[in-house]
Structure 1
Amino acid sequence: MVDRLIPNDYPELRLICWHKPSDHPMDEEEAFAIYERNWRYVDQDMLTDAEKALIERLKNTYGNGVINA
């Protein structure tokens, strides 16, 4: 089973998902790809603790410990 998340639950992810409905679940791997492609738009000072934890987990799971921004 693939883990899924809803962008609306993560404020910065919601903002960088302007090209898709932010209330529909997406695969975690897709979310990680969106973070990577749009990292320059992520306001790191505005990340919630939950979103920081999500990014860290996604980075370790799908990015071998890095975000290629």
Structure 2
Amino acid sequence: MLNLKISSELLLGLATAPLLVGLLAGKALAELMQDLGQASEEVFRGDRLPVLDFSTTADKSDVDVTEV
């Protein structure tokens, strides 16, 4: 039976690269999901809302003002 002793520095060095890649992938995935959420909000922004007509000039005959 072989008795191999691997130093902790070597194990730490070997584990650092996958950890950093995982962190970067997680950050990229989070940004992608946030961008996807914002894009879906843009698609459905005015889908179910009625179009309101705000005219810039209001006729004074349409406005009923009574002074008491």
* TM-score for the superposition, normalised by structure 2: 0.23
Larger Rg: 2
State the structure with bigger RCO (CA 8 A, min sep 6), 1 or 2.
1
* TM-score for the superposition, normalised by structure 1: 0.23
